[in-house]
Structure 1
Amino acid sequence: MRKSKMFILTLIVFSGIAITMGLMILVTRNPELAGNSAMVSAKASMFKDDWSSYFGLLTMIVLTLGTIGFGTIAGWIFGREYSDRVVQDLLALPVHRFTIVLSKFITFVAWSILLSLILFIIGVFTGLAVNIAHWSVGLAYHYFIIFMVTSFFTMLLCTPTALVASYARGYIAPIAFTIGTLIVTQIMFVGIPNITAYFPWAIPALYSGVSGAGGATPDLVSFIILFSTILLGFIGTVAWWRFADQT
C-alpha cells in the first residue's frame, strides 16, 4: 500500500472530487462561470448552497463513486498477484493463507477508511473556503457519523468483490462486478423500490437517508442480509485462497 502508485492515485482522485464540489458551489452562485456549457450548469444546479444539502451530496458521492473506488481497490489488492503472475511466490512464503487474506482485508479497510476521511475532511474545508451557509459543528458531527457508517457499510460490501477477484485471478472482473452491482442498485431504486431494503448493496443508501423520505427503511432483516453478504464474501475468499488449486 505504501509503495504502490495506486495508493497515490486514489488519494488524488478522492481529494479532487471534494475540491470539485466546492467549485460547483461557486458555479451555482455565479452561473456566468459556466459560460455556454449546459452540462456544467446542469451539474451545478444539483448543489444547493447550504451545509445539509452539501453533506448529503458528500454521502451520495461515497455511495456511488466511492463504491467504484473501494471495489477497484479490493480488486487490485486481491487480484494483483494473479495478474503479475507472482501468486505462487506469495503462497510459497512461510505464512498461513488465512493470514495473507486477513492482512489483505485489513489493508483494504485501512485504505478505504483513509480515503473516506480525506473525502469528508477536504470536502468540509472546501465548503468553508467557499463560505457555504448555515455551518455548525453539531450539524457537521451528525453528518460525519452518517457518512462514516455509510462508508463502512459500503467498503465491507466489497468482500464479494475480493472473492470475484480471487476466482477470476485478476482485477478486471471485480471492477466489472462492482459497476454491475451499482447499476442494478440504481435500477432497483427506480423500478422496484419496495425490495431495496433486502438488496445488500442498496442498504447503505437507505441507512444514510439520501434515497429520500419516500424510500424504504432498513429493518433487522435488512441488516442481517447486509452482514450475511459481507461474511459470506469473507468466508468465500478465505476458502478460495486455502483450498482452490493455485497452480
Structure 2
Amino acid sequence: MSAIARALRAEVRKLRASRVAAIAGSLLVVGVVGITSAMTLDIGAAPTLAGEKFAAFAVSDAPSFVAVATQIAAVASLLAFGVCAAWITGREFVDGTIAGLFARPTSRSTIAFAKLIVHVVWCAVVTVLVLTAMVVVMLALGYGWPGLETWGAIGRLGTALLITALLSSVASLVATLSRGYLAPIGVIIALVAASQVAVVLGAGDWFAFSSPTLWAMFGADGASIAGLVVAATTGLLLCAATVAAWRRLRLVAAA
C-alpha cells in the first residue's frame, strides 16, 4: 500500500469517528433547508418592521426557494467547512498526537495532503446533501420539479460551495501555524465579516471569499468568471501553503 493510501485510510477513520464533522455537516444541511422552509410562512403580513424585512425573503416558488437557500448556504458553508478543516488539522496539536506523526514512515507533507483531500471530499458530500435536500423539500412543498433556470441556480450554488471548500483550507493553514483550532475558527469568522464588507464596498467580485457567493446568487451579474478563477486559485494556493507548512514542522520540546 502506498504512503498516500495509508494516510488517506487513517484520515478517513479519524473523520468517521468525528462528532465535529457530523455536527457541522448536519447543521449546514438542516439549517439551509430549515430556515428557507420557514420563509414560506406569511411573516411579511405581520404589521411590524421585522415582518416587512422578512417579506423581502418570502418563499413562494422554486426559484425563490433556491434564491433564499443560496444566500444562507453561501455564507454558512464557509463557517461549516472552516470548522471541519480547523478540527481535522488542529486536533493533532491539541490532542498531542502530532509527535506520533513524526515517528510514522509517511512524510508529514503526505499526511497534510491526505487531510486536505479527505476534507474536500467531505465538503463535496455535504454539498450534494445540501442540494439534494433542497430539491426534496421543494417537491414536498408542492413547487414541482425544478425548471432549467432553477437547475442552473442550483448548479451555480454547487460550484460555489466546492470553491468555498478549497477556500476553507485557510483554516488548515492557520491551525498549522497556530498549533490549535481556536485561531482558525476566529479567522473564518473574520473572513465571513470581511466578505460582507467587500460586497458593500463593491469589491466583492475580486475578493476571493465573496466572489463565489455573488456568482451563486446573481450569476454573471454578480461575479465574473475571472473572479471565480481567482477564488479557486487562492484556495489551491492555501492548500499548497498548508502542505509546505507541514513539511517544515518541527517538534518543540516542552518547557
- Please indicate the TM-score interval, normalised by the length of the shorter structure: 0.7 to 0.9
Q: Quick one: structure 1 residues 37 and 245, their matched pair in 2 at CA, closer, same or farther if it must change by over 3 Å?
A: farther
**Quick one: which amino acid aligns to residue 235 of structure 1?**
A
Q: Quick one: structure 1 residues 159 and 25, their matched pair in 2 at CA, closer, same or farther if it must change by over 3 Å?
A: closer
How well do the aligned residues superpose, as a CA RMSD in angstroms?
Answer: 2.6
Choose the corresponding residue for 1:241, options 218, 240, 246.
246
Q: Which residue of 2 aligns with 1:167?
A: 177
**Structure 2 alignment gaps of length 5 or more:** 1-14
- TM-score relative to the length of structure 1: 0.84
**Quick one: which amino acid aligns to residue 70 of structure 2?**
T
Q: Quick one: structure 1 residues 223 and 12, their matched pair in 2 at CA, closer, same or farther if it must change by over 3 Å?
A: closer
Q: Which residue of 1 aligns with 2:12?
A: none
Q: Quick one: structure 1 residues 80 and 243, their matched pair in 2 at CA, closer, same or farther if it must change by over 3 Å?
A: same
Q: Quick one: structure 1 residues 200 and 45, their matched pair in 2 at CA, closer, same or farther if it must change by over 3 Å?
A: closer
* Aligned partners of 1:98 and 1:242 also within 8 Å: yes
1:137: how far off? 4.7
Q: Quick one: structure 1 residues 211 and 145, their matched pair in 2 at CA, closer, same or farther if it must change by over 3 Å?
A: closer
Q: How many Å separate the matches in 2 of 1:57 and 1:26? A: 11
Residues 11-61 of structure 1: CA deviation (Å, up to 9, x unaligned)? 4312321441354144238968xxx99758854751321111211222222
**Quick one: which amino acid aligns to residue 26 of structure 2?**
I
* Aligned partners of 1:60 and 1:210 also within 8 Å: no
Q: How many Å separate the matches in 1 of 2:104 and 2:244? A: 18
Is 1:55 matched with 2:66?
yes
Choose the corresponding residue for 2:224, options 218, 221, 229.
218
Q: Which residue of 1 aligns with 2:8?
A: none
Q: How many Å separate the matches in 1 of 2:21 and 2:147? A: 31
Q: Quick one: structure 1 residues 135 and 176, their matched pair in 2 at CA, closer, same or farther if it must change by over 3 Å?
A: same
User: For residues 74-223 of structure 1, what are the structure 2 equivalents within 5 Å?
Assistant: 74-132=85-143, 135-190=145-200, 192-193=201-202, 195-210=203-218, 213=221, 215=222, 217-220=223-226, 222-223=227-228
Q: How many Å separate the matches in 2 of 1:224 and 1:18? A: 26
Q: Which residue of 2 aligns with 1:227?
A: 232
Q: How many Å separate the matches in 2 of 1:22 and 1:63? A: 13
Secondary structure of residue in 2 paired with 1:93: coil
Q: Quick one: structure 1 residues 45 and 203, their matched pair in 2 at CA, closer, same or farther if it must change by over 3 Å?
A: closer
| Count of residue correspondences | 238
1:202: how far off? 1.7
Q: How many Å separate the matches in 1 of 2:198 and 2:39? A: 30
* Aligned partners of 1:15 and 1:119 also within 8 Å: yes
Residues 226-246 of structure 1: CA deviation (Å, up to 9, x unaligned)? 233223212211111111323
* Aligned partners of 2:40 and 2:58 also within 8 Å: no
Q: Quick one: structure 1 residues 47 and 116, their matched pair in 2 at CA, closer, same or farther if it must change by over 3 Å?
A: farther
Q: How many Å separate the matches in 2 of 1:227 and 1:7? A: 23
1:156: how far off? 0.7
* Aligned partners of 2:82 and 2:188 also within 8 Å: yes
Q: How many Å separate the matches in 2 of 1:122 and 1:44? A: 24
**Quick one: which amino acid aligns to residue 201 of structure 1?**
F
Is 1:4 matched with 2:18?
yes
Q: Percentage identity across aligned positions?
A: 24
Q: How many Å separate the matches in 2 of 1:160 and 1:42? A: 34
Q: Quick one: structure 1 residues 30 and 159, their matched pair in 2 at CA, closer, same or farther if it must change by over 3 Å?
A: closer
Q: Quick one: structure 1 residues 224 and 145, their matched pair in 2 at CA, closer, same or farther if it must change by over 3 Å?
A: closer
